[in-house]
């Protein structure tokens, strides 16, 4: 008869070699480990590599001689006024886009949260632009704005609002607003859906209590609805800010950073440094500065809004 090795785990037994907590922790670590390793491989390691690159002479033309360059990439950036302008343009784009996303998204969400006809159909319709890939949205808007054939100019001319073919993406004053419109069209639906989902979680009894207490509709909105959905609002706004800070496709396809440099944001600036000037080190340095800014911003943002949430409690 063959002997058989049998290992028995008796969870109710007190005969654990290292104690039950140890095995529980080991089990938990075993569950987390694959995901943690994957995160390390796809996020942490590339991030460390980018930080390393930013301190080196890293040219696509000569990748066999990568040398430490005494912060030369950062010196180059801090002496280039274009970096500041690119940052300010990005900041302007993010503030306007996120504000419009929030206001329009919130308004539509409030409308769709009411008992109206064809509510489900309208929800699907409003959500449609978000399903387009950003690249497709960029090309669609490129043609909408086309000076000679674009429908935008056609409609404005038909309504006698303009008398000439306006090159919306080719003129200094209109290029950035034109991209912002395309961006808001693309991103507002997500904001709308998230806020709508949050609105549906607002407890009815709280609202009814406020009505009984004689609160006006605006008081109910600011003192009941907003505090109840603050957690979701905080997350969608932060997510929208970060997404727009990184926006590349819309600018690259629609304006290429022009005219002149009217739409050269940090993403375009980084692309130019890394892939047009072949200077991967400089490109990485811009990325690191960008990362530092976003980390500081996110921490500050969370702290400020967490205080508000605490106050609500």
Partner 1 sequence: MKKVLLLVLVFSLGIGLFNISYASGPVSIRMSNWLEMEAATQNIFKQMIAEFEKQNPKIKVETVGIPFNQYKDQVLIMNSSGDAPDVIMGNSQMMVAFNGAKALAPLKGLLSSTTIADIFPNNLQGTTFNGEVKAISWAPHPIALFYNKELFKQAGLDPEKPPATWEQMIDYAKKIAALGKDRGGNKIYGLAIASAKVAHAGTVFNGIIYSYGGYFLDKKGKVALNNSGTKEAFTFIKLMIDQGIAPAGIEQKDVRGLFAGGQVGMVFDGDMGRGAFRTISGKGTDFDQIMGVTIVPIGKTGASETVFTEHELAITQSSKHQKEAAALVEFLLSKKAMVMYHQDQAVLSARKSIAALPEMNEDDYMKVFNKQSETARPLPATNPMFDNAMLEMTKALERVTVGKEDVGKVLAETEAKIKALYQE
Q: Which residues of this protein are in contact with partner 1, per CB under 8 A?
A: 60-64, 146-149, 157, 164-165, 167, 169-172, 255-256, 258-261, 272, 275-278
Burial degree of 53 (CB within 10 A; 0-12, 13-18, 19+) = buried
Between 23 and 252, name the residue whose CB sits nearer to partner 1. 252
CA distance 191 to 109: 9
Between 222 and 275, name the residue whose CB sits nearer to partner 1. 275
CA 163, 165, 171, 173 torsion: positive or negative? positive
Buried b vs exposed e over 255-271: b needs ≥16 C-beta within 10 Å?
A: bebbbeebbbbbbbbbb
* Shortest Å, Cβ 174 to partner 1: 10
Between 3 and 148, name the residue whose CB sits nearer to partner 1. 148
Beta bridge partners of 67: 57
* Shortest Å, Cβ 289 to partner 1: 21
Between 101 and 255, name the residue whose CB sits nearer to partner 1. 255
* Shortest Å, Cβ 83 to partner 1: 15
What is the number of other CB atoms lying within 10 angstroms of the CB of residue 152? 18
Beta bridge partners of 279: 59
* Shortest Å, Cβ 41 to partner 1: 20
* Shortest Å, Cβ 159 to partner 1: 14
* Shortest Å, Cβ 274 to partner 1: 9
Do you find a cis peptide bond into 259, omega within 30 degrees of 0? yes
Residue 193: left (phi > 0), alpha (psi -120 to 50), or beta?
A: alpha
Between 167 and 243, name the residue whose CB sits nearer to partner 1. 167
107, 108, 110, 112 alpha-carbon torsion, rounded to 10°? 170
Between 272 and 286, name the residue whose CB sits nearer to partner 1. 272
Burial degree of 51 (CB within 10 A; 0-12, 13-18, 19+) = middle
* Ordered alpha helix ranges (H), 79-133: 81-112, 119-131
Between 101 and 270, name the residue whose CB sits nearer to partner 1. 270
* Shortest Å, Cβ 107 to partner 1: 34
């Amino acid at each position: 008869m063959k002997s058989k090795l049998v290992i028995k785990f008796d969870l109710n037994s007190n005969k654990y070699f290292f104690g039950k907590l140890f095995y529980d922790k080991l089990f938990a670590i075993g569950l987390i480990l694959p995901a943690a390793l994957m995160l390390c491989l796809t996020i942490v390691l590339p991030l460390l590599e980018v930080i390393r690159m930013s301190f080196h002479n890293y040219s696509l033309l000569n990748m066999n001689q990568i040398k430490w360059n005494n912060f030369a990439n950062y010196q180059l950036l801090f002496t280039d006024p274009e970096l500041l302008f690119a940052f300010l343009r990005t900041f302007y784009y993010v503030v306007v886009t996120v504000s419009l996303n929030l206001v329009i998204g919130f308004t539509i969400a409030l409308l769709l949260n009411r008992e109206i006809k064809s509510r489900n159909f309208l929800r699907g319709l409003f959500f449609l632009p978000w399903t387009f890939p950003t690249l497709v949205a960029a090309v669609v808007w490129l043609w909408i704005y086309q000076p000679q054939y674009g429908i935008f100019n056609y409609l404005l001319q038909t309504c006698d609002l303009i008398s000439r073919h306006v090159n919306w993406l080719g003129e200094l004053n209109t290029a950035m607003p034109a991209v912002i419109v395309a961006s808001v069209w693309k991103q507002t639906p997500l904001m709308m859906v998230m806020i709508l989902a949050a609105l549906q979680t607002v407890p009815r009894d709280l609202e009814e209590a406020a009505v009984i207490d004689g609160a006006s509709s605006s008081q109910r909105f600011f003192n009941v609805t907003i505090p109840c959905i603050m957690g979701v609002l905080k997350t969608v706004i932060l997510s929208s800010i970060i997404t727009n800070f990184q926006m590349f496709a819309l600018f690259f396809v629609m304006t290429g950073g022009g005219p002149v440099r009217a739409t050269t944001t940090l993403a375009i600036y980084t692309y130019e440094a890394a892939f047009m000037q072949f200077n991967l080190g400089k490109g990485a340095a811009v990325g690191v500065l960008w990362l530092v800014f976003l980390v500081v911003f996110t921490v500050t943002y969370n702290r400020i809004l967490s205080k508000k949430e605490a106050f609500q409690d």
